[in-house]
Structure formats: C-alpha cells, structure tokens
Amino acid sequence: MKVNHSFLLFFLITLFCACTPKNIYYSTFSTTAIANKGMGEYVLRVQGIGQTYQQAKKDAIRKAVYDVIFKNVSSSYGEHRMIQPVLSNPLTEQQHPDFFGSFFSAGGDYLKFVHELRLEKDKFKPQARRGVIMNVVVNRAALAKYLADNQIF
C-alpha cells in the first residue's frame, strides 16, 4: 500500500511539473554601434523578437531606427562612446503620435533609412518566441534631414 502511495505521489509531481508553463529567458540586449561607415551611416548590432523569424527581423530593424531617433546608442568602436539621439526632446514622440505611427507602421518610411547587413545570431527555442541579433546600417544623417523636413524637432 505504501508503494502505491509513493508511486501515485511521484506520478502527480511529474504530471504537475510537465504541465506548468516554462519561462523562457531572453536576455536584454541594448543596441550597440559597431562601426561608423562615414557620411552619417552607422552599423548597429540590434536584437529583435517576434513569433516568427520574419517578425523578429522586422522588430530588430524597427528598433534600430527607433533607437537612433530617441535613445543614446552605445558604441563599441574607436573613441566614440555614445551616439546622440537625432531628437533630444524625449516628448517629441508623444507630441507627434500620428507622424510616428505612420512612420513606424508596416512598410513605413523608416525602411528608407536602414538595411540589413548579415544575420549575427539566431536564437530559437521550440514553441517559443523567436529572437534574432543582427547587424543593420542606419543612415542617421538622412534620417535627421527627413525629420527636419517634416518639422519634427
């Protein structure tokens, strides 16, 4: 009788552990400038996450442009330690929601200022979200001119 209880307890514990959702850890990865190509173009290493590989790539490309516009991007090359954001006012995104909504929409104008170099890493866990780390080139100078032409300061 004691063996049956032990077996039943073992079975229930195993079943409970198998049915609990697994937390999948994704490291946080900040966008980093890895090269200055000159003429206002920077090579950035950026992470994207999505349900599919294509969604993760789109997320990474969008994040690269977003970070160049709104955030300080750390640099891992040369004497430069930080690339300043194109827009210094953090409230600009909230002041122009329609502009940035269409700018960052699917097929939006942000795609004019960025292109993919090569895939660096492809992290994938079955039945989970997909994450990619990739290198992209962002034309910061053209992006700054575009925003100024549209009177976004």
Instruction: Identify the residue with better confidence: 106 or 82.
Output: 106
101 close to 109: Cβ distance less than 8 angstroms = no
- How many other C-beta atoms can be found within 10 angstroms of the C-beta atom of residue 145? 14
pLDDT digits (tens, 9 = 90+) for 34-82: 888 888 899 999 998 888 888 888 999 999 999 999 998 888 776 667 8
Whole-number average pLDDT of the chain = 79
Give CA–CA dist 137/109, Å, rounded: 15
Instruction: Identify the residue with better confidence: 102 or 75.
Output: 102
For the beta sheet containing 82-83, the strands, ordered from the edge strand earlier in sequence to the opposite edge, are: 82-83, 73-75, 32-38, 41-50, 130-139, 114-123
Phi, psi of 31 (to 5 degrees): -65, 135
In this structure, what token pair is assigned to residue 122?
């492809």
Show Cβ contacts of residue 51 under 8 Å, excluding neighbours closer than 6 positions: 129, 130
